């Protein structure tokens, strides 16, 4: 075994050791904060931020109104979510993201625009879903371009697995939808296979396959660049049936 392979194995063992028994789908990397991102955290997190420790929420109390609720896990730098906030002012959005620079950027931009249909958790999505969202409370759940963990030994870290899919199903309203998107073909097939086998869901296409990007999912700059290079993007939308 080469030195590099030995180091990889040691890294994997160390990585597993610092996680609890549940395998996490993310690695927390703390990037440098720009001045604007820091301002977003300092000035706007007190208003937009929700806390895992506060437990179960009442969405109508959080937003001060009754409105369709959209939840997005892993919004990254928040570009597409910001577009949705502006395009759908009659919807309420809750974003869940662990990386502080992305949270800061989104909050800075949303705060400067005086948008009030956003709230944010900066914590593990599984814990937030389990502890903070009432069952049958979400109208649309979004998971766009999650980490594909392309190496076979890391496939166990992919967030789209039967236990996670079941958690999402419980939190969706009957008739609510789970929208997934990825630019990795192998992960797209994995997503489709997991979702098609999941009880209580129905693929919104009669063929049980992929759908064209709906207008509700903004086209990202990353995606536009990929299209020019011939890279594919695959969307899946499933409805909760029971």
Mean pLDDT by 10 residues, the chain (242 residues): 47 40 58 92 98 97 98 96 98 97 98 98 97 98 94 93 98 98 95 98 95 92 74 94 98
pTM of the model: 0.86
- Identify the CA nearest to 222 among candidates 167, 156, 157, 145: 145
**How close are the terminal C-alpha atoms of the chain, in Å?**
50
pLDDT at 217: 95
Residues annotated catalytic, as ranges:
147
Q: What pLDDT score was predicted for residue 28?
A: 55
| Per-residue model confidence (pLDDT) at position 137 | 98
């Amino acid at each position: 075994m080469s030195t590099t392979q030995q180091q990889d194995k040691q890294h994997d063992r160390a990585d597993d050791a610092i996680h609890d028994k549940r395998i996490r789908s993310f690695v927390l990397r703390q990037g440098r904060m720009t001045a604007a991102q820091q301002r977003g955290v300092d000035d706007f997190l007190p208003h937009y931020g929700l806390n895992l420790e506060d437990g179960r929420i009442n969405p109508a109390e959080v937003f001060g109104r009754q409105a369709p609720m959209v939840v997005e896990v892993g919004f990254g730098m928040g570009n597409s979510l910001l577009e949705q906030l502006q395009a759908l002012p009659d919807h309420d959005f809750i974003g869940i993201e662990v990386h502080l620079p992305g949270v800061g950027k989104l909050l800075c931009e949303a705060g400067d625009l005086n948008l009030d249909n956003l709230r944010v958790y900066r914590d593990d999505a599984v814990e937030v879903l389990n502890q903070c969202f009432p069952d049958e409370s979400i109208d649309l759940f979004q998971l766009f371009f999650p980490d594909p963990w392309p190496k076979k030994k890391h496939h166990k870290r992919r967030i789209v697995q039967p236990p996670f899919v079941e958690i999402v199903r419980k939190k969706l309203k009957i008739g609510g939808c789970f929208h997934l998107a990825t630019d990795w073909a192998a992960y797209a097939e994995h997503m489709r296979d997991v979702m098609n086998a999941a009880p209580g869901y129905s693929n919104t296409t009669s063929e049980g396959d992929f759908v064209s990007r709906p207008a509700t999912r903004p086209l990202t700059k990353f995606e536009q660049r990929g299209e020019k290079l011939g890279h594919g993007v695959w969307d899946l939308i499933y409805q909760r049936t029971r």
